[in-house]
Amino acid sequence: MWTRNIRMFSSFVKSHTLSDKRIKLVHNNKCGYPYAITEDQKLFITEGNPETNRKLQELLMFLYLKHERGDTLPKSITVLELTDLLNLSNTEVESKLQMYERRREKLFTNANVTKNLYVRPKSRVEKRTRGTGSIHDEPVRNSMFLPIIPRSQSLFYNINLGKGLSFGQQVVFDCSYDSYMSSAQLRETAKYLNSCVHINRKNRRPFGLNFCNVERNSQVMHHFKHENGGIEFLPINIYECSYLKLFHKEDIVYVSPHVSRELEYHPDDIYVIGALNRSEEKLALKKARLEGIRCARLPLNFRQLKRRNYVPSLWEMFERLLIEKNS
């Protein structure tokens, strides 16, 4: 019984192997057919039936004539696919061959994509020397210039920001409006503050940034730290006191879009921008008038002027202030 089962299993494996085996296209075949079929494969297809053998010969002759005319044939075909073509007409055989060729091209393309997606894992030496600028780093080998490491780039921008804080003109962000904004508006304001810091870092003549009226549990600063990450390493000033205690009142100009007077830039002025959402900008104007501070609005560009009742955001006001300074 065991011997019989082993024989049945071996015959099944043999037939399965024959059915999956691909027959390649041969250009100079001695037998005259485009595909070189072995005797075992021919026996598997015909099963010893002379009628099936005749159909196989006719099919191979038809494929040979197509090949001689210059028509494209699949470069390889399986035994099962060849068996399916036996009982089809010539037109159906041609459409089937085209389908086989398209399927083969698709499989080949997918295999190439998978191969390109594979990334060779880095060795220990590459991991250890990655981004250090050592001689083992691959960009250094292929170039005469040292690589620009992101850490060095960030350090350069921070030094630039520190120069603005020490020698440049000062800008104040008034952070006393937490109670007037919702949580979504607080997050948006923190995002705008983060954008202001980043564009100021990369400017050739940066402002010195000062955050005033910052409460101990300020929600804006909490979201700002979450947005920025390394706020403790940024050269910026954060004060709990008011800007009136830090700068002379005569030099302070509160920037607000709800004023008719247009700003005339002066390098000795201290510009204050309210850290609040654009929908609450009128609060900054009220506060500035109560404190007796000069107010001015930044000039709008052509696109902003076309929009009726346009209120620029915190980030847009700071960017416009940088443009006024560098122009």
Q: What is the pTM of this model?
A: 0.54
Q: CA-based angle 28:89:25, to the nearest 5?
A: 20
Name the amino acid, one letter, at 120. R
Q: How far is CA 12 from CA 8, 9, 43, 193, 309, in A?
A: 6, 5, 15, 72, 82
**Beta pairing partners, 77:** 23
Q: Are 211 and 240 in contact (CB under 8 A)?
A: no
Name which of 196, 243, 256, 201 is nearest 220 in CA terms: 196
Residue 3 banded pLDDT, cuts 50, 70, 90: very low
Q: pLDDT tens, 101-150?
A: 777 777 667 655 555 555 555 544 444 444 444 444 444 455 666 666 76
Residue 233's contacts (CB-CB under 8 Å, 6 or more residues apart) are 158
Give the range among 9-18, 97-106, 155-164 with minimum mean pLDDT: 9-18
DSSP per-residue letters across 32-61 = S-SB---HHHHHHHHTT-HHHHHHHHHHHH
DSSP per-residue letters across 68-93 = HHT----SEEEHHHHHHTTTS-HHHH
Give dist(CA 194, CA 31) in Å, integer. Answer: 77
